[in-house]
Amino acid sequence: MVVEFLSDDEALKIAMNAEKQGIELYRNLSQIVTSADTRKLLAGLSEEEKRHFQIFKEADEKLMTGPGSRPPQMDEEIANYLRSLIDTGIFSGLSEFSIDEVRRMDEVRVLNIGIRVEKDSILFYSEVLNHSVNPSGKKAFGEILTEEKKHLVSLTNRLREVKRTK
């Protein structure tokens, strides 16, 4: 997997972008659901994503030099891959929904979107954690990975509750 070629600096920038997208996604989804419990969960996840962004930003600021910093000359293939990750992001495929489509989504679909996002985040953060060499990057990825797993559990539990009541 090409993730092994990303520096900690690059991985942190991708993570910050993903968290910014997560803030927006969960905030928007929380505004369309009718269930107060699901709305509260999604709004809370949006706030968590804000905190995650700050953690990654602080780790990135510590990464001026040393292991895991951006190499002075990056292979063009790796640079293209990095741009693709940022452009498509963990939340890619979610922007194709029109506002009307999003408003018509039922609670199950909304929760499944959140579950997909969390699974993608967990996969990405697991990979970059395995390849991270800088202590501040490694710490940030490990901490957020643990929290993203908790988000997945919360969304899955809520989905079970919703399905049980239907």
Residue 24 carries which side chain, given as an amino acid letter? Answer: E
pLDDT in tens, 113-153: 999 989 989 988 998 898 888 888 899 999 999 999 999 99
* In contact, 137 and 57? CB cutoff 8 Å: no
Over residues 153-165, mean pLDDT:
96
* In contact, 153 and 122? CB cutoff 8 Å: no
**CATH code at 2-165:** 1.20.1260.10
User: Which of these, 61, 55, 53, 47, lies nearest to 20 by C-alpha position?
Assistant: 53
**What are the structure tokens assigned to 116, written together?**
């997909």
pLDDT in tens, 47-57: 999 999 999 99
User: Interhelix angle for 135-165 vs 107-131, to 10°?
Assistant: 160
First-residue to last-residue Cα distance in the chain: 41
